[in-house]
Amino acid sequence: MSRLRADEVLSKDAMGPFLATEGMNVPAGKNITFTDASEPTLLTGTTLTTTTLNVDQLNIGNDDGTKAKSIKLGIADSLTLYFDGRMGYLTSFIESDQLIIRPKTTPSDTYIDMLEGGPVRLYHGSSSRLSTASTGVDISGNLTVSLDVSTANLTSNSSGIITPYLTSASTGTAVTGTTTSTDGWGGTTSSADILGGLAMPFSCGLNGRIALPPTNATMLFGGSEYNGDNTEGAAMPHAGKLVAATVHAENAVGDLTLRATLNGTQNSSYEMTFSSPTSTSPTVVETFYSSPMTFAAGDRINFAVNNTTLTQLEVLTVTFFVKFD
């Protein structure tokens, strides 16, 4: 076996490195070292150690779960990227106890932050807006939901009830009631039991064929006869709020103003009026959502004539809506 021992090997014209046209074999356990003071490089049988590696393409085969065919970053292999052969599974490519994805131009911002055994957080700018927790999901800020009920796929529990479980932080809008019980409507607890949170209609009216209603006349419940008694109205089974009302008149001529009454006392903030209608059968709708009339359990609600110039009326029908607390 021939051996070549030399401190330096050049081409025969001594103008550059020699050319190994048939290749070069390096015995096992021996290395090739490129001694560049700025970028030292070591090539062993299985490892290339260098400062900078520039390649047009890096091919790494499918890994079998041992992570032998992978890209490892960090002193302790803190980040490992590999491909296990399953197409489209990004979760199979990255392994790390913490992974932060942030923009290049503004590294102080964050897109997503994932911590092993901890939360996964989605950010807007530098502010965390959605974070997973052991009990569910925490949302910071406002939650806007756009839902087309005509095409939405909704599911319900075994009782057939679709229940929203919502809570709010100190910076959000409070949700009335709690959502840990199924006593009331939509899972809320309420003094009104299953009626809690529901808007309930009550209907009453007058028969103008018998007599035109005078001022202070009140509506009757469950009867068609008109009388002049100033009844206090329907007793409410639970505390709540008057939120809306409608009045419809058949063949009416003249003006009419109706006011809500609470235990027989008229309230000018809650009234309905029609004046010389162009139609002889006017309908008026009033809503009081911004400032509803509150009442307690046992209070009586009705509507009374506050002002009238009616010269003709067949039937007057009033429907008012209350929401129990």
pLDDT in tens, 55-79: 788 787 787 777 777 777 777 666 7
Measured CA to CA, the distance from residue 125 to residue 108 in angstroms comes to: 8
Q: For the chain, give the percent of residues with pLDDT over 70.
A: 62
Q: What is the CATH number of the domain that holds 306?
A: 2.60.120
Question: What is the rounded (10 degree) CA torsion for 156, 146, 185, 195?
Answer: -140
Q: Which of 21-30, 158-167, 181-190, 281-290 reaches the highest mean pLDDT?
A: 281-290
Residue 192 lies in a domain: no
Q: Which two tokens stand for residue 24?
A: 């070069």
- pTM equals 0.45
Q: Could you tell me if residue 99 is inside a domain?
A: no
Residue 107 lies in a domain: no
What is the share, in percent, of the chain residues with pLDDT greater than 90?
A: 20
Tokens of 6: 């030399």
Q: Would 208 be classed as within a structural domain?
A: yes
Strand order in the sheet with 112-115: 98-101, 112-115, 120-124, 127-133, 136-139
Separation CA 263–CA 254 (nearest Å): 28
Higher confidence at residue 251 or residue 73? 251
| Mean predicted lDDT score pLDDT of the chain | 75
What letters, b where the CB count within 10 A reaches 16 and e where it falls short, cover 121-143? bebeeeebebbeeeeeeebeeee
Give domain status of residue 232, yes or no.
Answer: yes
- Whether 313 is covered by a domain: the verdict is yes
Which of these ranges, 90-94, 181-185, 216-220, 281-285, has the smallest mean pLDDT? 181-185
Whether residue 110 contacts residue 120, with contact meaning beta carbons closer than 8 Å, is answered with: no
Contact in structure between 316 and 205 (CB atoms under 8 Å) = yes
Structural domain range at position 277: 199-324
Please choose, from the candidates 145, 220, 205, 184, the residue with its C-alpha nearest in 3D space to the C-alpha of residue 324.
184
- Is residue 170 over pLDDT 50? no
Query: pLDDT digit string (tens) for 87-101?
Result: 654 444 566 677 777
Domain count, the chain: 1
pLDDT for residue 94: 61
Supply the DSSP symbol for 195: G
In this structure, the strands spanning 120-124 and 94-95 are unpaired
Q: Which residue has the higher pLDDT, 288 or 77?
A: 288
In a domain, 39, yes or no: no
CA-CA-CA-CA dihedral for 176, 179, 184, 185, to nearest 10: 80
Asked whether residue 113 is assigned to any structural domain, the reply reads no
Please identify which residue in the block is written with the tokens 């009081």. 288
DSSP class of residue 173 equals P
